[in-house]
Structure 1
Amino acid sequence: MADIDSDFVRALSGKVGGVSIVERYGKKFARLLPAIYHDAQSEEQLHQRGKLQAVIALYQRVKDSPLPLVWRTAAIGLPRSGYNLFVKRNIHAFRGDGFVSDYSQLHFSEGTLQQAENLKLKSTPDNNFTLCWTCNPETASSSHTDRLILILVEEDATFFPHVIETPACRADDSFTFRLPDGVSLPSHLYCFFSNKDFHQFSNDKYFQL
């Protein structure tokens, strides 16, 4: 796709002859259109469509949570939206039939905030789970007031992430929780930190419960 640097062509939009004029991020681009369109129906193409549909459905299920803000922030300065970045990071976690093939490949946060050091998960006899970490020293990319956020995903056909904004902060060094009502094992945990103003985020870390 070619960047347009012509006053005349920049005034155009849509399809002109065999060329499509599109605008992205304030710039116009031209690309050739195929002479004949063939619907993609090969096994590999159908597989990719299934994966794409699955990750789009996942985004729709979290779009009313704080997570879209996380991805919009992660996409700042990139030539794509937060939505497109979310799709790019998560599409490889799915199979063509729409089910997750590898839960460790799912990601719910990405950012420059420092992740907690030595982050570990322990289970307790009373069916609780405890996250423990070493509080990072104050740096430009972390603070003792950073808040812990959890995402829980139950391993079943009704894929629905539970977003939990915990009261724990980085200085606490640990947080104990129970599975929400209606969520059973096996489940999958993703945890990350946000700053107190919720405009900086760390990469997430995965645990299997």
Structure 2
Amino acid sequence: MAKLPNLQISGRMGNIIFYVRNGKQCMRAMPQKVKNPKSTKQSSRRSQFGATAKFASSLLSVLIHPYWNPIAKKEDRSGYNLFLTTNMPAFTAGLLQKEKLLLIPENELKQEQFIISQTDMGIQLTWSYTQNNKKADPNDELTLLIMSPNGALEIRQTQAKRSEQELMIEAPKEQEYFAFWERGTLWSETCWLPLQSDN
């Protein structure tokens, strides 16, 4: 049954679906029937989508609303949708491939290449600093995202500046680290830091 709220149609009429998005009337055809909805490929995609959606649901207020929504808005999309389509490749065969995970997309700042060293005092991060680049200011601050084994995420402001080119951190076992740069309302994409801890 179709509805006419404020002279706009939402609902299904035959094989056409009417809906309103951002105040605009839209319509689309019903998807064609899937010949084999239980094929190995279909099952794998559904599992991949489910794992990504479950992961994303815990990050709405922490990452998706503040960092993904502003980027997605430029494409007339939701941050949640953009996060899912970007990060589905990181969830394959029921396993999270951390090197493929993009927790925060780029917003005009450059990411740096990190060198990671184990020392007696902890983990030392060093990076290059590209001068005379509007995407890399000496006062950009390094922020860490720390992921616990259960998927909970902590954002830690380090106060380290891009120009300092090094940071010492304590790396508890079984936690994953991601790093990105911030400058006011600008930020770089995240970079996974494959830290090695002593057993």
TM-score (norm. length: structure 1): 0.77
Q: Residue type of the partner of 1:30?
A: M
Q: Residue type of the partner of 2:99?
A: S
1:129 is aligned to 2:126: no
1:88 CA displacement: 1.1
Partners of 2:20 and 2:102 in 1: CA distance: 29
Contact 1:138–1:144 (8 Å) recurs in 2: no
**Deviation readout 1:8-39 (Å, 9 max, x if unpaired):** xx732211232101223343222222587889
1:122 CA displacement: 1.6
1:163 CA displacement: 2.5
Listed as ranges, the gaps of 5+ residues in structure 1 are 1-9
Q: Residue type of the partner of 1:136?
A: T
Contact 2:64–2:83 (8 Å) recurs in 1: no
Matches within 5 A, 1:28-39: 28-33=25-30
CA root-mean-square deviation:
2.6
Contact 2:129–2:162 (8 Å) recurs in 1: yes
Q: Percent identical across equivalent pairs?
A: 20
Listed as ranges, the gaps of 5+ residues in structure 2 are 1-6
Aligned partner of 2:10 among 10, 13, 16: 13
Q: Residue type of the partner of 1:58?
A: F
Equivalent pairs counted in the alignment come to 189
The verdict on how the C-alpha distance between 1:67 and 1:27 changes in structure 2, with shifts beyond 3 A counting, is: closer
1:184 is aligned to 2:179: no
1:63 CA displacement: 2.5
Contact 2:110–2:135 (8 Å) recurs in 1: no
1:48 is aligned to 2:50: no
Q: Residue type of the partner of 2:40?
A: E
Q: Residue type of the partner of 1:171?
A: S
Question: Which residue number corresponds to residue 171 of structure 1?
Answer: 163
SS at match of 1:192: strand
Matches within 5 A, 1:100-139: 100=96, 102-126=97-121, 128-139=122-133
Question: Which residue number corresponds to residue 202 of structure 1?
Answer: 188
Partners of 1:172 and 1:68 in 2: CA distance: 30
SS at match of 2:50: helix
Question: Which residue number corresponds to residue 3 of structure 2?
Answer: none
**Deviation readout 1:79-125 (Å, 9 max, x if unpaired):** 3111111111111111243x31x211011111133324443222212
The verdict on how the C-alpha distance between 1:40 and 1:52 changes in structure 2, with shifts beyond 3 A counting, is: same
Partners of 2:24 and 2:62 in 1: CA distance: 31
The verdict on how the C-alpha distance between 1:130 and 1:67 changes in structure 2, with shifts beyond 3 A counting, is: farther
Q: Residue type of the partner of 1:204?
A: T
**Deviation readout 1:145-178 (Å, 9 max, x if unpaired):** 2211112335x5x333333222212222211110
Q: Residue type of the partner of 1:18?
A: N
Question: Which residue number corresponds to residue 77 of structure 2?
Answer: 80
Partners of 1:63 and 1:21 in 2: CA distance: 28
The verdict on how the C-alpha distance between 1:118 and 1:73 changes in structure 2, with shifts beyond 3 A counting, is: same
Q: Residue type of the partner of 1:129?
A: I
